[in-house]
Structure 1
Amino acid sequence: MANTRRVHYDEHGVPIPVAHYAYGGAYSSGSQSRLGAILENPGEFTAAEVRVIMWYVFRSPGHLEPIKLTLQEIAEAVGITRQALRRIINHLEDRRILLARGSMGRTTFYAISPYLGGQGSGMDQRDAIRSVNPPEIPGTEIKPADVGNVIDVTSRRRTSA
């Protein structure tokens, strides 16, 4: 679903100018409750694991889209060794925080769980969440997101889950 540009008007019917996001590039959204639980639970996640999680959240090309870089390239970007990154990815994959989303040869590409964040519209996130289980974040009682019926804003029709 493409985003439609809306024109806003003041009380006299004069169009109000709108501006595009001025973040200097793409922007990501993240789950405050889930990412906050990861940050505030130092006994469960090491500083290096939190750094890898945040790197994936903010470098994600879209919900469930993998980052197509080698372990060596990611390790250099994050500032850890390739071996340490491999151990961290295995641990985060076991908790469904990172998801294997394709491969090329012996290189597996990973995506961040759409429950934690990513780029794209709310509808893109809703579709992505329907296809995966929520991540395991110890010490939290965060319920899975409700992805029931929504109203399509372009047609005002209800869509089913």
Structure 2
Amino acid sequence: MNTATGEIHELWEIREEDDPRRSYAFGGRHGQFSFARIMAMLAKDSGITGDDFRVFFYCGIMTYEEGGATAKEAAEFLGLTPQATRRITKKLAEHKMLLVAEIIGRTIKYRASPHIISALSGRQQSEQAAAFHLPTLPGRSGSATKGRTNDTSRPVPRTHRPAGTDERTAAPETEHTDDVRDPGRPGARRRTHRG
């Protein structure tokens, strides 16, 4: 409609007979991903292994099929051990590549970061991405590394405690060389005779 004159104009799309409009030939639901972030994950210095990448993409696809996936589901589908898959999902979650979608008891359901993969409209994806931190890579400088936390105030595991906070008991006094434990009575001592 021409707003100045009020006239209505109909627009016709002229299609060539040889080149009709086609739909995508992906077969089933499809989505988008960030070329730049996927290439960064594939780089040799990224710290991401082949199994890490497989677990990420499985959880990414399940994000839009079933709302996410657990480490156990990923392990069964990918043929990995549950222990390895839990370690991988924890590593990817620490670096914000996977996000926690749901926690039921001790079971954690993960979904992919909207900064990397999405099956939403552009508006929905940008709204979701604005709500989450950018992902980091384990092997790149400036990202979280083993033994450090990623912008959290949790204590770092396996750190030395200040003096006086160790709750272990003191080492027992050394026994005399002529004292021998009696195997018949626990804790009882008997003297050995020196000849």
Q: What's the TM-score, normalizing by structure 1?
A: 0.68
2:111 aligns with 111
Q: Unaligned 5+ residue runs, structure 2?
A: 1-10, 143-195
Does 1:29 pair with 2:60?
no
How many residue pairs are counted as aligned between the two chains?
130
Range 52-61 or range 28-37, more displaced: 52-61
Greater RCO structure (CA 8 Å; 6+ sep): 1
1:134 aligns with 134
2:14 aligns with 10
Q: Helix, strand or coil: the match of 1:114?
A: coil
Q: Helix, strand or coil: the match of 2:30?
A: coil
Q: What's the TM-score, normalizing by structure 2?
A: 0.57
CA contact (8 A) 2:70 2:110 kept: no
Does 1:44 pair with 2:56?
no
Q: Unaligned 5+ residue runs, structure 1?
A: 1-6, 142-161
* d(CA) in 1 for partners of 2:118, 2:79: 22
Q: Helix, strand or coil: the match of 1:134?
A: coil
Deviation at 1:28, TM superposition (A): 1.8
* d(CA) in 2 for partners of 1:140, 1:114: 23
Does 1:87 pair with 2:91?
no
Note closer, same or farther for the CA distance 1:80–1:9 as it changes in structure 2 (3 Å cut): same
Taking only aligned residues, the RMSD between alpha carbons, in angstroms, comes to 2.9
Identity %: 29
Does 1:54 pair with 2:57?
yes
* d(CA) in 2 for partners of 1:107, 1:18: 46
Deviation at 1:25, TM superposition (A): 0.5
Note closer, same or farther for the CA distance 1:29–1:43 as it changes in structure 2 (3 Å cut): closer
Note closer, same or farther for the CA distance 1:29–1:140 as it changes in structure 2 (3 Å cut): farther
